[in-house]
A = this chain, B = another copy of it.
Amino acid sequence: MKKLRIGLADTTFARADMAAFAIDEIERKFPKMKIEFVRRTVPGIKDLPVECKLLYVRDKCDIVMAFGMVGKEQVDKTCGHEASLGIQWAKLMLGKHIIEVFVHEDEGKDEADLLSIFEDRSRKHAINAVLIATNQSELTKMAGKGLRQGRQSVGRIGV
């Protein structure tokens, strides 16, 4: 069986090692799958879109994840928006998914809470990345069910 090549783009700006959570989760949940990780680090979130493109075009990854932290200031939020638009263009140019795992520094009540968001979101989206690359119909079983990454899921309305 062909190895699944997973690209991980992350930043020096973020305040947690999100890619490490993702790698750990994938190794636990898919122990029999042959997986190769390609990791590339850039300074900040606005450097992620083109790095994700390179992970597909140059490194021939099968699926790519982009890990970033959006800072607390308004200027940081604008950067996050620009990075997300860049990721949209990258996806559409390539015709490929990029699993965007962004955490906002002001999402957490305190540092411990923020760290738990980093971990939960990175782990859950790592599963999403593998499913999209290998078995997307699994996701349809959860369609419209109010799933959340980073926090507990909220469920379907009226159920």
Chain B residue nearest to A39 (CB atoms) is: B140
- Bitwise interface map of A from 120 to 141 toward B, beta carbon under 8 Å scored 1, else 0: 0000010010001000100110
A139-B42 contact in complex given A49-B91, A92-B49, A158-B111, C-beta closer than 8 Å: yes
Q: Are A19 and B143 in touch, CB under 8 angstroms? A: yes
How far in angstroms is the closest Cβ of chain B from A155?
A: 7
| Separation of A85 and B148 alpha carbons in the complex (Å) | 23
Q: Are B47 and A97 in touch, CB under 8 angstroms? A: yes
Chain B residue nearest to A112 (CB atoms) is: B158
Confirm or deny: A5 has a beta carbon within 8 angstroms of a beta carbon on chain B.
no
Cβ–Cβ < 8 Å partners of A49 in chain B: 88, 91-92
> Contact check: which of B18, B96, B143, B145 meets A144 at CB < 8 Å?
B18
Q: Are A143 and B10 in touch, CB under 8 angstroms? A: yes
Q: 14 other contacts beyond A39-B140, A115-B158, with CB at 8 A cut-off?
A: A10-B144, A11-B143, A12-B139, A12-B144, A17-B156, A20-B144, A43-B128, A53-B92, A58-B95, A78-B80, A79-B84, A82-B88, A86-B92, A111-B157
